[in-house]
């Protein structure tokens, strides 16, 4: 019995000891598990703190920067025990497609030309402007909520630049398909001398200002202005004094303001459908100067690719400035106009236009041909402070009336015959009403301008051309502001000129049926005429009033004769100016008096230049065009400005 109780007691103790061990093990396991969980939590918290140090990583998401998000990465900095966020952003600029030197040295330049390869290189996507099928599947609430408010605006800017290139090239190809058989090949993108481009720049979020939450692109002030023009936007506000900027047009809007610790920040937005067809700017490098109110002239050296400095004031008239009244007045002074003419422009109370502002007349007479041969694009930024609206003027009808007056002017020189032939070819290419400025017409206009430039540059000195132009401008401004009382003009010696005219009688006898007082026209009659007669009245004033007085001033003034003193035998050269005839074959002089051979020679030379300048002006305004809402905001000092600006 004792043995049995002893064994039972031992068994009980053994069981009790085993239970204690099991309990201790369980507690240890639980404690270990809790410790591991705590350790894991601590490690996760530490890792989270390290990853949280990678500020800006989420701001480089695909929803913000699109395919540019693939460049984001975290770089651990052991010395600082933190992560640094690095990403890539574009440096956008405007240059010639042949340019090999971008803002970043030894960095590849990616050009924006609308091709699949360009889309891939610039990491952009072209989305349909109005995918109706996709939109139809969304409710009204969803459509509103699908706005890409979080997307970087520079990404949308790149997309629109790609769209501009692609849509405009498709439009030009369609124009070529519609036109008759053509001898010359359609120009491709490589023929352009203006293109948007970018370089890829590595950046760090460490350098981002605290108040900037998205990666930004970098450009310069001049390139920002140029890209806005390329997309069809016009500046409504451009105030560098308070750093307020706003441009809008063609479904886009761009605003700019100063951001602390950074500089001027622009934001690009889309509010409507965009169009890049006939309204696309001519892809010419000269556009850069037009954006700031500078106009390259026919005397611009084509071999000089150097950009004009903003503070440079060329005295050789290779460039005109027409962006403000002050700059317009200075341009008139450089042309040689008198003080009265400049004062007409400076005063807002004086008239400086008839059917259209005189600034466009100067632009058309002297402006370099910007149109690219065989191209269908003709739009330019407006370099003047005036609006251009074809609702009030028809350059085609003006050209028709010009040809009618020219045919009955009485002058029969080689140059006049050449102009008549060029005008006939232009009208033929217009295909009759309604007039179509299509590819054949653009070709004819371009060829006509080339012929005019050949005459003005190679057959006449700059002094001769400017002499006739200044006389013309002085008379036009004088008649505009003195109206019907301006019956007399003064020559350069101060003598009154009027009454008898030395021009051919036909110049003053172009009366039309029912117009008994046609020879007494003034600009007031042009303004009072109905729309269908305005062009006829204007050409009447030019041929009946302006041309005879220009010829009088030229024949009686010493300067015009001095410019021709190198001609040993003016009568002989006068014979050559006729279509193979002698002086006796010339039209009879008007006003009942005989002219000397020298006088007739001087007048014919003057009439050749005057008729060429007016014809060139009409052809230039037909070959080029401006948006009616576009007007130049003075900013000429920013031409070539490399002030860094940023795009949100």
Please give the mean pLDDT across all residues of the chain: 81
- What percentage of residues in the chain have a pLDDT greater than 90? 50
Distance CA 238, CA 235 (A): 7
pLDDT at 4 over 90: no
Between 601 and 33, the more confident residue is: 33
CA-to-CA distance for 537 and 401, rounded, in angstroms? 9
Q: Round to whole Å and give the CA distance between 85 and 151.
A: 19
pLDDT digits (tens, 9 = 90+) for 432-455: 555 567 888 999 999 999 999 999
Instruction: Look at 412 and 281; give whichever has higher pLDDT.
Output: 281
Task: Average the pLDDT over 608-637 and give the result.
Answer: 95
End-to-end CA distance of the chain: 98
CB-based contacts of 134, cutoff 8 Å, min separation 6? none
Q: Count Cβ neighbours within 10 Å for each residue of 319-349 and write b for 16 or more, e otherwise.
A: bbbbbbbebbbbbbeebbbbeebbebbeeee
pLDDT at 563: 66
Q: Which long-range contacts (CB under 8 A, 24 or more apart) does 43-51 make?
A: 50/76, 50/81, 50/82, 50/83, 51/83
pLDDT tens track for 390-420: 888 888 899 999 999 999 877 778 999 999 9
On the question of pLDDT at 120 being above 60, the answer is yes
pLDDT per position as a tens digit, 169-187? 999 888 888 776 655 567 7
Better-scored residue on pLDDT, 570 or 200: 200
- Judge whether residue 262 has pLDDT over 70: yes
Length of the chain: 648
Residues 6+ apart with CB under 8 A from 505: 410, 587, 588, 589, 590, 591
Mean pLDDT on 553-580:
54
3 state SS for 470-486: HHHHHHHHHHHHHHHHC
Q: For residue range 29-64, what is the model confidence (pLDDT) as tens digits? A: 888 889 898 888 888 877 776 666 566 788 888 989
pLDDT of residue 138: 46
Mean pLDDT of 606-624: 95
Residue 29 half-sphere exposure toward CB, CA atoms < 13 A:
6
List, in sequence order, the alpha helices (H) in 96-232: 116-122, 132-136, 140-145, 153-178, 221-230
- The answer on pLDDT for 357 being more than 50 is yes
Burial class (CB within 10 angstroms; exposed 0-12, middle 13-18, buried 19+) of 190: exposed
Distance CA 345, CA 340 (A): 9
């Amino acid at each position: 019995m004792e043995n049995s109780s002893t064994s039972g007691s031992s068994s009980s103790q053994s069981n009790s000891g085993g239970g204690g061990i099991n309990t201790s093990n369980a507690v240890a396991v639980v404690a270990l598990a809790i410790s591991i969980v705590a350790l894991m939590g601590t490690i996760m918290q530490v890792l989270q703190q390290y990853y949280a140090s990678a500020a800006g990583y989420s701001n480089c998401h695909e929803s913000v920067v699109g395919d540019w998000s693939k460049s984001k990465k975290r770089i651990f900095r052991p010395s600082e025990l933190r992560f640094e966020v690095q990403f890539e952003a574009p440096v956008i600029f405007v240059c010639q497609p042949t340019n090999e030197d971008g803002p970043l040295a030894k960095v590849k330049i990616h050009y924006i030309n609308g091709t699949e390869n360009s889309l891939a290189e610039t990491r952009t996507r072209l989305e349909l402007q109005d995918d109706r099928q996709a939109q139809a599947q969304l409710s009204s609430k969803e459509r509103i909520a699908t706005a890409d408010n979080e997307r970087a605006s520079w990404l949308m800017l790149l997309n629109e630049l790609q769209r501009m290139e692609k849509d405009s090239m498709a439009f030009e190809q369609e124009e070529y398909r519609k036109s008759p058989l053509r001898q010359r090949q359609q120009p491709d993108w490589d023929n352009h001398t203006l293109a948007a481009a970018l370089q890829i720049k590595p950046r760090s979020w460490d350098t981002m200002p605290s108040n900037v939450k998205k990666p930004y692109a970098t450009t310069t002030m001049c390139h920002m202005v140029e890209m806005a023009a390329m997309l069809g936007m016009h500046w409504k506000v451009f105030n560098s004094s308070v750093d307020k900027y706003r441009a809008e047009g063609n479904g886009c809007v761009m605003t700019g303001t100063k951001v602390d610790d950074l500089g001027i920040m622009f934001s690009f937005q889309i509010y409507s459908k965009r169009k890049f067809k006939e309204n696309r700017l001519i892809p010419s490098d000269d556009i850069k100067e037009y954006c700031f109110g500078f106009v390259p002239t026919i005397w611009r050296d084509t071999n000089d690719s150097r950009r004009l400095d903003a503070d440079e004031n060329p005295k050789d008239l290779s460039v005109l400035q027409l962006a403000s009244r002050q700059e317009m007045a200075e341009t008139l002074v450089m042309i040689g106009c008198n003080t009265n003419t400049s004062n007409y422009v400076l005063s807002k109370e004086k008239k400086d236009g008839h059917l259209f502002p005189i600034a466009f007349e100067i632009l058309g007479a002297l402006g370099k041909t910007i149109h690219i041969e065989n191209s269908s694009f003709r739009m330019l930024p407006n370099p003047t402070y005036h609006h251009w609206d074809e609702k009030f003027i028809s350059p085609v009808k003006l050209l028709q009336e010009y040809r009618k007056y020219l045919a009955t002017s009485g002058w029969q020189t080689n140059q006049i015959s050449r102009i008549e032939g060029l005008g006939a070819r232009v009208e033929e290419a217009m295909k009759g009403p309604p007039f179509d400025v299509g590819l054949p017409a653009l070709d004819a206009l371009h060829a006509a301008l080339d012929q005019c430039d050949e005459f003005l540059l190679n057959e006449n000195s700059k002094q001769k051309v400017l002499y006739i132009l200044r006389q013309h401008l002085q008379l036009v401004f004088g008649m505009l502001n003195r109206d019907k009382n301006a019956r007399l003009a003064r020559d350069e010696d101060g003598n009154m000129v009027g009454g008898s005219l030395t021009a051919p009688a036909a110049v003053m006898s172009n009366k039309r049926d029912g117009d008994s007082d046609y020879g007494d026209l003034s600009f007031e009659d042009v303004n009072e005429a109905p729309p269908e007669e305005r062009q006829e009245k204007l050409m009447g004033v030019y041929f009946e009033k302006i041309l005879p007085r220009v010829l009088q001033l030229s024949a009686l003034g010493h300067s015009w004769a001095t410019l021709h003193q190198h001609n040993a035998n003016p009568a002989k050269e006068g014979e050559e100016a006729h279509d193979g005839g002698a002086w006796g074959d010339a039209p009879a002089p008007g006003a009942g008096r005989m002219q000397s051979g020298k006088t007739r020679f001087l007048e014919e030379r003057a009439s050749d230049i005057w008729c060429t300048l007016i014809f060139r002006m009409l052809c230039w305004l037909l070959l080029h065009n401006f948006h009616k809402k576009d007007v130049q905001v003075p900013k000429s000092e920013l031409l070539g400005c490399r002030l860094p600006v940023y795009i949100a």
